[in-house]
Amino acid sequence: MDARVFVYVAHSAGTIDDTALELATAAQRLFPGSSPTAIVAGSGVDAVAREAARSFDEVWKLDTEALAYPNAELLRPLLVKLLTPGSMTLLPHNTFGLDLGPGLAVRLGATYVPDVVDADGLEGTTLKVVRQEFAGQVSAHVHCNVANGAVITIRPGAFPAAQSGSASGQVVDRSTDADGIAARRRFVELIEAETGDVDITREEVLVSVGRGIGDEENLALVEELSEAMGAAVCCSRPIIDAKWLENSRQVGTSGKTVKPKVYLALGISGSFQHLGGVKGNPFLLAVNKNPKAPIFQSADVGVVADLMDLLPVLTEKIRQGH
Amino acid sequence: MEILVCVKRVPDPAENEISIGPDGGDIERDDLVYSVNEWDNYAVEEAVRIAERTGGNVTIVSVDDDEGEEVVRRQMAMGASQGLLLTDEAFEGSDGLGTATILAAAAKNGTYDLILTGAQADDGAAQVGGMLAALLDWPYASVVNLVETNSDGPLRIGREIDGGSQEINEIETPCVLSIQTGINEPRYVGVRGIRKVASIELPVMDAEALGISAETVGTAGAKVRRVDYFVPEQRAAAEMIEGSTEEIADRIVDLLRAQGGIR
Ligand SMILES: Cc1cc2nc3c(=O)[nH]c(=O)nc-3n(C[C@H](O)[C@H](O)[C@H](O)COP(=O)(O)OP(=O)(O)OC[C@H]3O[C@@H](n4cnc5c(N)ncnc54)[C@H](O)[C@@H]3O)c2cc1C
Ligand SMILES: Nc1ncnc2c1ncn2[C@@H]1O[C@H](COP(=O)(O)O)[C@@H](O)[C@H]1O
């Protein structure tokens, strides 16, 4: 394959993001033998570019005040100008990649390949990847015609991070290409997520409840169980959307990252956005009435049961044991 | 403001267990219960609220076959004055770009200040909104969880970013926003509401009416093609506990004790 491969290196507080090294692995799986060029954009990013150069042979640095915040609307026209036609560009499938990727593909005339979880390789101009649909309930083999290049987003956590090497790649300063960039969307400010009454990121035992609980009044069953266990309650996103619990209880990519010893997942299907917030390899026990729920692929112990039947009995037994 | 909201009919995740059909080419479609994509319901509610503040109309649009009418009408009943169904055999098998191309043609056919989509639909691609914006050459913002309108000038919007922080932006109109769940509380639609919109004519447009050449959309134009569905091999399958509710509960208590889950 002679198409050029690019990898977007996300970074914050002066260090490169895990996703960048995961993309490096993904690039090798999708395009074996390629030598991807890393793209580091921002303001005052010399150190980040040097760090990236330990893992990539070539790093393009886009260093300008305008990119102090990674605004996808500013970056897109810049990348359209810089990227070689027909190239393969890898982005993380997170809220930045979602913002940049689809429009970038359209603008480049490239094929958009979103949320890749595994690779079956490249045959001629057909890229074979694995995706998931229906929140992970089924997987799909997907074939993509990448003759005119591709913009590919990689699911965070799906590929292991490449070892950060000691290679010394070359940093190429392309900052002047960013002169005069403008967008019709301007970054104003960042409002940090709130920490609530209970800091679930510090709890060792978490009882996590999802949409399967059905009704707000049924939450009492979860709270009683949690109390009997001496645990804290957290939840998946639909519980927050319904305003049944306060925001700070949400676990996941757009919520908190927790590192408990024990995680009880009750009526949670196991989307990657939810499990992306469960770190530290806890003992994960999942209860779900659907035997095919994807959560069972990540659980240590699974129970196929209706929460309404199981929770009262379980709580009672734990209470008796005390 | 004139607002177009894109909605997709999907198998309702709350009502269905998705399984793979006999030949692996599709999911089991018999007995599936469909509803509007969860994210799109929030998008419609947001559009209706904006139109209530600023005046103007909300139009619901979907690329679907005839079955799409019910979902379009249900969403109209939330407070939209118009609906539009984009239907053609040539649209079947469209990839994300195909769908965005069809929607872009419909958008150009009207005069909209704002287009809302859901952040993602059932295949988790999260692509149609961003593609639509690029095709129209309008600015775009994804995963939006706040929209504030000013009498004149740009919108002030919030994007929900990783970790749950909110990124505030100003964005010029016309623009496309993809809407995140939780931005509002979608109103309930009863049978009466649906009856009220039953008499509104629902225009149906095909490729010709939209000025789309059939080779650019549908299976013919798709660069991304699903070959089959499969169930991945369990990496390390969970130990499944079985038995009566009593037996299961006893076993869970033992396991939790052993793992330090009961204090
Ligand atoms: C940009 C973005 C960010 C996101 N961030 C997050 C995040 O941070 N955290 C998060 O959680 N989600 C997040 N999501 C949403 C995510 O994609 C899923 O929609 C969500 O995690 C689903 O939550 P759930 O598992 O509770 O609900 P569902 O997927 O609806 O699952 C409910 C489960 O309950 C089971 N069930 C139903 N009734 C019963 C019963 N009586 N007894 C036992 N089981 C039952 C069902 O079989 C099903 O498996 C995000 C999405 C996007 C697009
Ligand atoms: N067939 C369709 N008709 C109308 N809108 C759609 C269609 N498919 C996707 N969309 C819109 O695009 C959003 C994102 O979907 P997707 O890019 O498929 O994940 C959805 O929430 C809808 O708003």
Nearest ligand, CA of residue B127? 2
Residue A146 CB-half CA count within 13 A: 29
Pairing of strands B114-118, B3-6: parallel
Does A151 lie in the same domain as A211? Answer: no
Q: Is the CB of A205 under 6 A from ligand 1?
A: no
* Residue numbers in B near A143 (CB within 8 A): 224-225, 227
What's the helix, strand, coil split of chain B in %, to 5?
Answer: 35, 25, 40
Q: Is the CB of A155 under 6 A from ligand 1?
A: no
* Residue numbers in B near A110 (CB within 8 A): none
Which whole number is the average pLDDT over B96-113?
98
Mutate to test the pocket of ligand 1, among A96, A208, A237, A297 (most ligand atoms within 8 A of CB): A237
Give the single-character DSSP code of A251.
B
CA distance B234 to A294: 10
Nearest ligand, CA of residue B116? 2
Q: Is the CB of A135 under 6 A from ligand 1?
A: yes
The parent domain of residue A9 ranges over 5-178
User: How many distinct structural domains can be found in chain B?
Assistant: 1
Look up residue B13 and give its two tokens: 């995740």
Given an 8 Å threshold on Cβ–Cβ distance, is B119 in contact with A299? no
Q: How far is the CA of A210 from the centre of ligand 1 (A)?
A: 6
Pairing of strands B204-205, B82-86: parallel
Given an 8 Å threshold on Cβ–Cβ distance, is A114 in contact with B248? no
Task: Tell whether A184 is covered by a domain.
Answer: no
Does A69 lie in the same domain as A146? Answer: yes
CATH of the domain at A264: 3.40.50.1220
User: CB-based contact (8 Å) between B188 and chain A?
Assistant: no
SS (H, E, C) A75-98: HHHHHHHHCCCCCEEEEECCHHHH
Q: Say what the pLDDT of residue A1 is.
A: 66
Which whole number is the average pLDDT over B71-91?
98
**What's this model's pTM, rounded to 2 decimal places?**
0.97
Max CA separation in chain B (angstroms): 68
User: Quick one: closest CA in A to B237, which residue?
Assistant: A297
Residues 105-164 of A with CB under 8 A from B: 105-107, 111-115, 130-135, 137-146
Given an 8 Å threshold on Cβ–Cβ distance, is B226 in contact with A296? no
Does A52 lie in the same domain as A17? Answer: yes
- Cis peptide bond upstream of B174, omega within 30: yes
Q: Say what the pLDDT of residue A322 is.
A: 53
Task: Tell whether A25 is covered by a domain.
Answer: yes
Does A173 lie in the same domain as A231? Answer: no
Does A205 lie in the same domain as A166? Answer: no
Q: Could you identify the atom of ligand 1 that is nearest to the CA of residue B17?
A: 47
CA distance B63 to B197: 20
Q: Is the CB of A136 under 6 A from ligand 1?
A: no
Task: Tell whether B261 is covered by a domain.
Answer: no
Residue type, A73: E
Kindly indicate the confidence band of residue B235, based on its pLDDT and cuts at 50, 70 and 90. low
Burial of B6-32, coded b for 16+ CB within 10 Å and e otherwise, reads bbbbbbebeebebebeeeeeebeeeee
Kindly indicate the confidence band of residue B17, based on its pLDDT and cuts at 50, 70 and 90. confident
* Residue numbers in A near B255 (CB within 8 A): 283, 285, 301
Q: How far is the CA of A126 from the centre of ligand 2 (A)?
A: 25
The parent domain of residue B140 ranges over 2-221
Q: How far is B105 from chain A (nearest CA, A)?
A: 15
User: CB-based contact (8 Å) between B14 and chain A?
Assistant: yes
Decide if pLDDT at B238 tops 90.
no
Give the single-character DSSP code of A127.
E
Pairing of strands B140-148, B175-179: parallel
Given an 8 Å threshold on Cβ–Cβ distance, is A303 in contact with B241? yes
Q: Is the CB of A310 under 6 A from ligand 1?
A: no
Nearest CB to B126; choose among A98, A143, A269: A98
User: CB-based contact (8 Å) between B18 and chain A?
Assistant: yes
Torsion of CA B238, B244, B250, B254, to 10 degrees: -20
User: How many distinct structural domains can be found in chain A?
Assistant: 2
What is the enclosing helix (H) or strand (E) of B71?
helix B68-76
Does A162 lie in the same domain as A55? Answer: yes
Nearest CB to B139; choose among A112, A146, A185: A185
Does A167 lie in the same domain as A205? Answer: no
Q: Is the CB of B218 under 6 A from ligand 2?
A: no
Given an 8 Å threshold on Cβ–Cβ distance, is A269 in contact with B130? no
Report the percentage of chain B scoring pLDDT > 90. 87
Q: Is the CB of B87 under 6 A from ligand 2?
A: no
User: CB-based contact (8 Å) between A81 and chain B?
Assistant: no
Q: Say what the pLDDT of residue B263 is.
A: 85
Nearest 5°: the CA angle B84, B90, B92 is 80
Task: Tell whether A315 is covered by a domain.
Answer: yes
Q: How far is B196 from chain A (nearest CA, A)?
A: 27
CATH of the domain at B177: 3.40.50.620
Does A103 lie in the same domain as A160? Answer: yes
Task: Tell whether B173 is covered by a domain.
Answer: yes
Give the single-character DSSP code of A201.
G
Does A102 lie in the same domain as A221? Answer: no
Task: Tell whether A275 is covered by a domain.
Answer: yes
The sign one gets for the Cα dihedral A91, A94, A96, A99 is positive
Does A273 lie in the same domain as A151? Answer: no
What does pLDDT average to in each consecutive run of 10 residues of chain A (322 residues)? 92 94 97 96 97 96 96 98 96 98 98 97 96 94 98 97 84 95 96 88 97 97 98 98 96 96 97 96 97 93 97 97 68
Q: Say what the pLDDT of residue B236 is.
A: 66
Nearest ligand, CA of residue A213? 1
Look up residue B243 and give its two tokens: 């038995």
* Residue numbers in B near A292 (CB within 8 A): 17-19, 231
Does A222 lie in the same domain as A282? Answer: yes
Torsion of CA B219, B222, B223, B227, to 10 degrees: -40
Burial of A160-187, coded b for 16+ CB within 10 Å and e otherwise, reads ebbeeeeeebebeebbeebeebebbbbb
Report which of B105, B129, B137 is spatially closest to residue B179, judged by C-alpha positions: B129
Does A105 lie in the same domain as A36? Answer: yes
Decide if pLDDT at B233 tops 80.
no
